[in-house]
Chains A and B, each alone.
Chain A
């Protein structure tokens, strides 16, 4: 049971943004811009950053929904998502993505954990300013989303099929603010 009176049967963040839609709107816009907006990182790569941070924050809902979205977006290479969540260093990712995930992992702990060396390693692998900026901001944003979802104990489905469906929707439609039903 969620800590506040949200609509029953609506999972995770969807229940929270239905509880307060005016703050939900910029939250969904931010996710859409960061994960689907203009970027030299693919939506699949950006969903992986989101899933990786959520996994380190032990947010079951966000980890499973964004991992499912990333698997859909990686298509035939979907298994790389599970490799990366387990052990990014040895996953079948580009050197640049490994270096960016390293930065995202530091941001998950605390902003101050990101060192000049982390940034240098990412640049050596070809990351530019904007990719570094976006990685830090995506990791910071999921440090917010994860806390919002778990801090209010929103409903977390346990059925993997529920996440596969969510992932497909996120891959196809992106982040669209849910609308209240039966009103």
Chain B
């Protein structure tokens, strides 16, 4: 049971974003820009950053949702699983390894990011904008994970739920659906 009353047909973050829509608006806009806006990182790569941070914050809902989105965008499920297990041996580029490491440091604390890990990312070809976006995406998921778990929102256990959510995130991104979410109510 969530700590405050939320729409029962909207588990996880969606119920919270509907509960207070004026604060949801900039959160959604920021997420859409960072994860779907113009970037030299692919949408799949950016979802991997969201996944590793959510996983390390032990947020089951966000981890399952962004794993599903990453898998759909990458068209395979090995990479997200490997990244969550061990960044160094995951099948991603050296640049992505360096950025995922920075994201993991941000998850601990802003202060955990070292000049060495930044130099490492730059050597692997990361631009200032890619480093900026990696830090901000990781920081944003530190917000989401705390929002979702701090109010004890519902976490569905059925994998099919996250598959559907991942599809929605691929198709519609992070903007509020134009007609809201009433169509998700069980008939």
Are B110 and A148 in touch, CB under 8 angstroms?
yes
B16, B20, B129, B146, most chain A CB atoms within 10 A: B146
Q: Whole-angstrom distance from the CB of A119 to the nearest CB of chain B? A: 5
Q: Which of A142-181 contact B (CB under 8 A)?
A: 143-153
A151 contacts B139, C-beta separation under 8 Å: yes
What separation, in Å, do the CA atoms of A3 and B113 have in the docked complex? 10
Residues of B1-46 whose CB lies within 8 A of A = 3-5, 16, 19-20, 22-23, 25-27, 29-30, 33-34, 37
Given A3-B118, A26-B27, A150-B113; A136-B147 close (CB under 8 Å):
yes
| Given A20-B129, A26-B33, A147-B110, A111-B149 contact (CB < 8 Å) | yes
What residues of chain B lie closer than 8 Å to A33, measured between beta carbons?
22-23, 26
- Find B111's partner among A26, A58, A103, A144 (CB 8 Å cutoff): A58
Residue of B nearest to A142 (CB): B143
Contacts of A153 in B (CB 8 A): 113, 115
Contacts of B144 in A (CB 8 A): 140
A22, A33, A147, A153: residue with the most chain B Cβ atoms closer than 10 Å: A147
Chain B contributes a number of interface residues (CB within 8 A of A) equal to 49
Q: A22-B33, A151-B135 are in contact. Are A112 and B113 (CB under 8 A)?
A: no
Known: A23-B33, A111-B59, A133-B20. Is A30-B146 also a contact (CB below 8 A)? Answer: no
User: Is there contact, CB below 8 Å, between B150 and A111?
Assistant: yes
Interface of chain B: mostly helix, strand, loop or mixed: helix
Q: Are B4 and A137 in contact (CB under 8 A)?
A: no
Query: Which chain B residues lie closer than 8 Å to A141 at the CB level?
Result: 143
User: Chain A residues near B58 (CB, 8 Å)?
Assistant: 110, 112
User: Across the interface, do A133 and B129 meet the contact criterion of CB distance under 8 Å?
Assistant: no
Tell me whether A37 is interfacial, beta carbon within 8 Å.
Answer: yes
If the complex has contacts A3-B118, A37-B22, A151-B106, are A136 and B151 also in contact, measured as CB distance less than 8 A?
Answer: yes
Bound form: Cα–Cα A158–B133 in Å = 27
A83 within 8 A of B: no
Q: Nearest 10 pairs between A and B by C-beta?
A: A111-B149, A150-B110, A26-B26, A140-B146, A147-B139, A144-B143, A4-B128, A147-B110, A151-B110, A111-B150
Chain A residues engaging chain B, CB cutoff 8 angstroms: 3-5, 16, 19-20, 22-23, 25-27, 29-30, 33-34, 37, 57-59, 103, 106-107, 110-112, 114, 116, 119, 129-130, 132-134, 136-137, 139-141, 143-153
30 A-B Cβ contacts within 8 A? A3-B113, A20-B133, A22-B37, A25-B26, A25-B29, A26-B29, A30-B23, A37-B23, A57-B109, A57-B110, A59-B110, A103-B150, A106-B150, A107-B150, A110-B58, A110-B145, A114-B149, A133-B19, A141-B143, A143-B139, A143-B142, A144-B142, A145-B139, A147-B109, A147-B139, A148-B110, A150-B113, A151-B138, A151-B139, A152-B132
